[in-house]
Amino acid sequence: MSYPLELTGNVILITGGAQGIGKATAELCAERGAAVVIADFNKDGGETTAAGIRANGGQADFYHLDVRSAEQVEALASFIREKHGKLNKVVCAAGVLLGPHLQPEEFPLEDFEKTLDINVVGPFLCAKYTTSLLEAAGNGVFVVVASGAGVFGGSSSLAYGSSKGGANGLSMTLDRHLASRGIRVNTIYPGNIITDMKLSVDVEAARKEGRPEQEAHDFAAANYGLPPGVAQVIAFVISDEADYLRGGVRTR
């Protein structure tokens, strides 16, 4: 199936673009004509993803980033302004899941705080330092990748579920604040998707329960979605064709 290059001329920032849903989104957006800026703490993965996009004829930069750092996110926005002169879309896909299957008394406070810093503070900092660029672009879209966890149900991780509920709340509140400035805000709620993060949780559960690790992989292959499927949803959501879309989109 072929698609029109509906993202041609757009500059798109994707945090967490080195792997999983973020990587699939970066690759698809570049395929559809956008210049993508991949920002991730995973330097090797991010550079490899950007290089692969360029090798296929697309436009991609990699920026090494810790989304918890205000100074680094502000510097990223400056880099985009200087390199591209504009920013049309932001996709906040950076995320972490720590402490699966731990009871409250077992959960390290530092892991809980780290999870919230990456999954909630990270998108806030991206909004803080990119809003002026998105407003100037005139077709700005800001997307937060939350989760079904913490919104429609629980999670294996107390921190992850709490953080994704917080990310959802941040996105809904940003929508109220930014609509008058011409910026559309949407939330994506992926369900069970085959990513390294999700598979590691399932494999750990199998180990604890004395089941073969392969059972976790087999169950995921039969029942979970794939990152490119979510990427297709995100690519539509940030396109001008989705101008009438409001709120969030839930995927499998």
pLDDT in tens, 183-232: 999 999 999 999 989 998 999 889 889 999 999 999 999 999 999 999 99
Q: What pLDDT, on a 0 to 100 scale, did the predictor assign at position 1?
A: 45
Q: What pLDDT, on a 0 to 100 scale, did the predictor assign at position 5?
A: 61
- Taking only the tens place, the pLDDT of each residue in 155-186 is 999 999 999 999 999 999 999 999 999 999 99
- Taking only the tens place, the pLDDT of each residue in 131-146 is 999 999 999 999 999 9
The amino acid at 74: E
Confidence of residue 245 (pLDDT cuts 50, 70, 90): very high
46 pLDDT more than 50: yes
- Taking only the tens place, the pLDDT of each residue in 74-92 is 999 999 999 999 999 999 9
Q: What pLDDT, on a 0 to 100 scale, did the predictor assign at position 3?
A: 54
Give the rounded distance of the alpha carbon of 204 from its chain centre. Answer: 24
User: Where would I find the H helices in 179-226?
Assistant: 196-208, 213-223
Rounded to whole angstroms, how far apart are CA atoms 73 and 15?
Answer: 10
Percent of the chain exceeding pLDDT 70 equals 98
2 pLDDT more than 60: no
- Taking only the tens place, the pLDDT of each residue in 90-141 is 999 999 999 999 999 999 999 999 999 999 999 999 999 999 999 999 999 9
- Residue 25 parent element (H or E): helix 20-31
Is 224 among the residues known to form the active site? no
Smallest CA-to-CA distance from 2 within 25, 32, 30 is with 32
Rounded to whole angstroms, how far apart are CA atoms 182 and 185?
Answer: 10
Smallest CA-to-CA distance from 96 within 169, 149, 60 is with 149
Smallest CA-to-CA distance from 73 within 117, 134, 130, 146 is with 130
Largest CA distance in the chain: 55
**11-193+226-250: which CATH architecture?**
3-Layer(aba) Sandwich (3.40)
Smallest CA-to-CA distance from 21 within 187, 166, 233 is with 233
Q: Which residues contact 7 (CB under 8 A, 6 or more apart)?
A: 29, 32, 33, 34, 235, 238, 239
How confident is the model over 45-64, as a mean pLDDT?
98
Annotated catalytic residue: which of 3, 63, 129, 160?
160
Residue 6: burial class (beta carbons within 10 Å; 0-12, 13-18, 19+): middle
